[in-house]
Structure 1
């Protein structure tokens, strides 16, 4: 299965996503903010990144742009997983390099389906 980097600053949300993904057989690594996400993307080379948007230090849009524009990490697909549900947020996320966009709360079924879709498209 895939190595998934979950970038999420809420401990309870992070744990819920982690349980869902590990329950489906994926391996999980985590980052609590965008700065850590960039570092982990470079060192761990995950198969896919789940990126929150609203976080301290560096938001998910900024982190996604940095990861997507770095030749070392540009091939890693990023799925934005956020409470921001405006169409402008979706468009901006895709412009930063995200290949998927899910709005919280997201069901386990939708989350796993989106990860599968992104991995198969890669």
Structure 2
């Protein structure tokens, strides 16, 4: 299944803008959420085909939100790529154990991101 609808979950307006620009220019439809709670509401209303998840956010962190999404029968099939400044190997392993399909460390290289999305689609 080709990926068209992507949800970006990041508390940074700069990161949301940057990722939206990269994805829209590549032909994707993009929605954004500023935190995990907003993301969980948006997923229920309009299920995306991919989620780009930050980790460090107010309220629930990205690990917690990823775990909620990947354990919910209605959303567990939506792939998640964690996009975070947390570059430790233990963070990457923990993110994948929570249900993420991939892990990218910021600053995000647009070519790397698009390649990872293509690999999922």
TM-score range, shorter chain: over 0.9
Structure 1 stretches lacking a partner, 5+ long: none
Equivalent residue in structure 2 for 1:31, among 30, 33, 36: 33
1:95 paired residue number: 97
How far the C-alpha of 1:34 sits from its partner, in A, is 0.7
1:79 paired residue number: 81
What TM-score, normalized by structure 2, do the two folds share?
Answer: 0.95
Distance in 1 (alpha carbons) for counterparts of 2:97 and 2:43:
19
Contact kept? 1:68, 1:97, Cα under 8 Å: yes
Q: Deviations over 1:36-89 (max 9, x none)?
A: 111111211100000000000110000000000000100000000000000100
What TM-score, normalized by structure 1, do the two folds share?
Answer: 0.95
1:105-116 to 2 correspondence within 5 Å?
105-116=107-118
Distance in 2 (alpha carbons) for counterparts of 1:116 and 1:72:
23
- Asked if residue 8 in structure 1 is aligned to residue 31 in structure 2, the reply is no
Across the aligned residues of Structure 1 and Structure 2, the Cα RMSD in angstroms comes to 0.8
Q: Secondary structure at the match of 1:21?
A: helix
Structure 2 stretches lacking a partner, 5+ long: none
Q: Aligned pair count?
A: 119
Q: Deviations over 1:72-116 (max 9, x none)?
A: 100000000000000100110011100010000011111111111
Distance in 2 (alpha carbons) for counterparts of 1:31 and 1:117:
24
Distance in 2 (alpha carbons) for counterparts of 1:68 and 1:30:
19
